[in-house]
Structure 1
Amino acid sequence: MVWVLGVGGAMLLPGGALAGRQREELLVDSVRTALSAAIQNLAPPIPEFEDTSSRLNHLRWLGEMSARLIKRKPDANVRREFLQTVWYESKRAGLDTDLVLGLIQVESNFRKFAVSVAGARGYMQVMPFWTRVLADGNSAALFHLQTNLRFGCVILRHYLDIERGDLFLALGRYNGSRGKAAYPQAVLGARRLWGFA
């Protein structure tokens, strides 16, 4: 099942993973080096907080998101690890957690082992060519929770930087449909489902 944005809002439709039209782009050495460094730093997803208020807000977020995700991930430990990693990798890349959760919903519907027709893998449907460009070429690593989320978040941040903060164009680039509305609208519609006050 995948989410698409229709006239009446977001709708769930049958189907597989959406990614696969991403195009391999030539990266200048400085960009490749910066992205590779971001991927290689495999610090564990342990949250750190400046104050008690921030920690309590995180715990409230974790509880609310866990309740929303329970049907997709019934095991509490799996759900907690997934959400902690989403939170960690989103913050690390300077992305909003609701954006990343919306993208994951559209890309893989929260399926860890999702594979698109074009071979994109995992939660964030990362194309295997990124492992050649940024890592050791082992595309099987894209099924590892933290590796997949790290790659996906770093790639989306890279596209946001290329597009000078234009989320619509960055999402299109992430999906390989830059300039077309369907994919960005689907992600932005799903994002609304993961908002936290």
Structure 2
Amino acid sequence: MRAAALIGLLIALAAPASAQPDEAEREALRSFLESTISGADSFTDRYDAEVWLVDMSSRLARFVDDPQQRLQLLRQIHAAATAAELPPELVLAVIEVESHFDRFAVSRVGAQGMMQVMPFWKDEIGRPDDNLTDNLTNLEYGCRILQFYLQREKGRLHPALARYNGSYGRRTYSDKVYRAWRDHWRTEPLAWLE
């Protein structure tokens, strides 16, 4: 599938069924998608960037209405996940379970942002002024914390996710992440078995 076809697909997916975007909207979205793809430096191939961004954008539409915001967020998620050597689809599943893509989410225990990062982490790494509701900051923290726990658990997803959530020894949380990944974000297999 060529870039123009992918852009056309994204535009079609972006519009509500009852209304087609006007030409100016389509052109703005086309331009934004092209710039997002060219700036998606966490991808090794432009075609892979096009396919992944369009595919994930259609999946993310149920949580984020604006197509430009979706593409920007997906690019940020892909970059943070790739930098932390995590599958971006796993990070998308974690975010779905943690916050349903609400950057201002705060849990009952004080975890903040899309990946529900506990504020004590800011002091742990000596950056007390960081804003955990800033997507880039939150994604960087969340992905690195998950990377740490995956390394600690030697790649075993269930215990690493339980540590991330603070529920080590139980699978309730990791099973939720698994279901979100399986039902909404899966593109290729992950080693979910222990």
Where on the TM-score scale, by shorter chain, does this alignment land: which range? Answer: 0.7 to 0.9
The alpha-carbon deviation at position 75 of structure 1 amounts to 1.2
1:82 matched residue in structure 2: 73
- The equivalences for 1:14-163 within 5 A come to 46-50=40-44, 54-138=45-129, 141-163=131-153
Structure ranking higher in helix proportion = 2
- Between structure 1 and structure 2, the one with the greater Rg is 2
Indicate conservation of the 8 Å contact 1:125/1:152, yes or no.
yes
Which structure features the higher share of strand residues?
1
Whole-angstrom distance in 1 between the partners of 2:109 and 2:42: 37
TM-score by length of 1: 0.72
Are 1:196 and 2:187 matched, yes or no?
yes
Against the structure 1 CA distance between its residues 86 and 72, is the aligned structure 2 distance closer, same or farther, given a 3 Å change threshold?
Answer: same
Number of the residue aligned with 1:10? none
**Residues 89 and 150 in structure 1, CA contact (< 8 A), matched pair in contact too:** yes
Identity across matched positions, percent: 41
Q: Which runs of 5+ in 1 are unaligned?
A: 1-44
Aligned length: 149
Give the gaps of 5 or more residues in structure 2: 1-38, 189-194
- 8 Å CA contact 2:56–2:185 kept in 1: the answer is yes
Q: In structure 2, what is the Cα distance between the partners aligned to 1:177 and 1:91?
A: 25
After the TM superposition, which segments of 4 or more aligned residues of structure 1 sit over 4 Å from their partners? Answer: none
TM-score by length of structure 2 reads: 0.73
Secondary structure in 2 aligned to 1:190? helix
CA shift for structure 1 position 46 = 4.1
What amino acid sits opposite 1:145 in the alignment? N
Q: Output the amino acid matched with 2:125.
A: L
Aligned-residue Cα RMSD (Å) equals 1.4
1:182 matched to 2:169? The reply is no
